[in-house]
Amino acid sequence: MLIAGLVFAIVIAVLVPTGLHIASVYDDQGMGACLAHPTGTCSATIDEFTGRWDSIVNLVGWFNLVPAMIGALLAAPFVLEFERGTYRLVWTQSITRGRWLTVRLALIGVAALFSALLLTALMTWWRRPLDDVGSRMPDGFDLEGVAPVVYTLFAAALVIAIGVVLRRTAAAIGLAVVAFFVIRLGLGVWGRQHYVAPVHKTWTGGSGPDLRDAWILSQGHGLRTAHGYSNDPAIGEACIKNASTRSFEAACLARHHITEYGYAVFQPASRFWLFQGIEASIFGALTLALVGFSVWWIRKRIN
């Protein structure tokens, strides 16, 4: 509990002063009015505001470790009972094995839930100005909503499941942390973007739709030749105006009946809570399975 308290003290020491500063700059620069009534200079103002906090956002990104740490710290004393054999004293008293298990697991669950909700509330408050001007996916996905709650419960269940089998607290924590991040990274990097089929959009002319708050999976531009005309790529390459930015001269493209188009593949911001629900269901099911396995193992395999 002391270590968990220290972790939260560090989190609060980082988030509170920096969060107040970010919110103050957000208000001073009139970001709310800029977003409500966009003008020609708003895009540059937004880019300047978001770029200003890159270093602190990267630092706070390490707080993804906190749910695993809290879950492991809360589960460790439970595993330690099996490593030292002190559970035998309890089981020889009037308290039944089932009651002891229920109370201990419930206490771990409640403590993990409270800790995760506190972390989520802090992170949601801290990221509010950044979410207003950008996208909550993927940057804020792991730190907001119900995700930190299920991550914390899953980490605790993972430590318990491994711990009751090995009866070694340090080994259980080490293996659980590795497994936790392998599963989380696997879903976050390869699985999450496919929870729902992404939106594909193309456009011609202009800068395209406003995707500032969307999770952009891929984006770019291409050339399309009108029907009946040569589609030799060399013709389009000859119309390049700036090789470094791959921009084309519009008049040259028009002479060769070529149209420049943009495309984007993205997950809309409106799917944030849907994706949160899907990921919570996945980790919630894994947590229940691990807890069920742990209870079965303790009741059937440990004497």
| CA-only gyration radius of the chain, Å | 26
- 203 inside domain: no
Q: Distance between CA atoms of 283 and 186, rounded to whole angstroms?
A: 13
- 51 inside domain: no
- Picking from 134, 116, 144, 150, the residue whose alpha carbon sits closest to that of residue 60 is 144
Q: Give the tokens for residue 9.
A: 């003290």
Query: 3-state class of 37 per DSSP?
Result: coil
- 208 inside domain: no
Query: Containing domain of residue 235, as a range?
Result: 215-267
- Please check whether residues 117 and 235 belong to one and the same domain: no
What is the phi/psi pair of residue 119, to 5°?
A: -65, -45
Confidence of residue 255 (pLDDT cuts 50, 70, 90): confident
DSSP bridge partners of 203: 262
- Please check whether residues 106 and 7 belong to one and the same domain: yes
Asked if residue 96 has pLDDT above 90, the reply is: no
Q: Distance between CA atoms of 39 and 62, rounded to whole angstroms?
A: 35
Write the DSSP assignment of 160-225 as a string of letters.
HHHHHHH--HHHHHHHHHHHHHHHHHHIIIIIGGGSSPPEEEEEESSS-S--TTSEEEEEEEEEEE
- 170 inside domain: yes
- 286 inside domain: yes
Q: Distance between CA atoms of 233 and 118, rounded to whole angstroms?
A: 56
Given a contact cutoff of 8 angstroms between Cβ atoms, the answer to whether 124 and 256 are in contact is: no
- 48 inside domain: no
What number of other Cβ atoms are within 10 A of residue 226's Cβ? 10
- 209 inside domain: no
- Please check whether residues 188 and 69 belong to one and the same domain: yes
- Please check whether residues 192 and 239 belong to one and the same domain: no
- Please check whether residues 98 and 144 belong to one and the same domain: yes
- Please check whether residues 167 and 34 belong to one and the same domain: yes
For 12-34, the pLDDT digits (tens) are: 999 999 999 999 999 988 888 88
- 263 inside domain: yes
- Please check whether residues 164 and 256 belong to one and the same domain: no
CA dihedral 295, 300, 301, 303 (to 10 degrees): 100
- Please check whether residues 77 and 131 belong to one and the same domain: yes
* 0.75 surpassed by pTM: yes
- Please check whether residues 161 and 26 belong to one and the same domain: yes
% of residues, the chain, pLDDT over 70: 95
- Please check whether residues 173 and 224 belong to one and the same domain: no
For 179-191, the pLDDT digits (tens) are: 999 999 999 989 9
- Please check whether residues 147 and 278 belong to one and the same domain: yes
Given a contact cutoff of 8 angstroms between Cβ atoms, the answer to whether 187 and 181 are in contact is: no
- Please check whether residues 137 and 152 belong to one and the same domain: yes
Q: CA 12 from chain center: how many Å?
A: 19
Number of domains in the chain: 2
Mean pLDDT along residues 87-106: 88
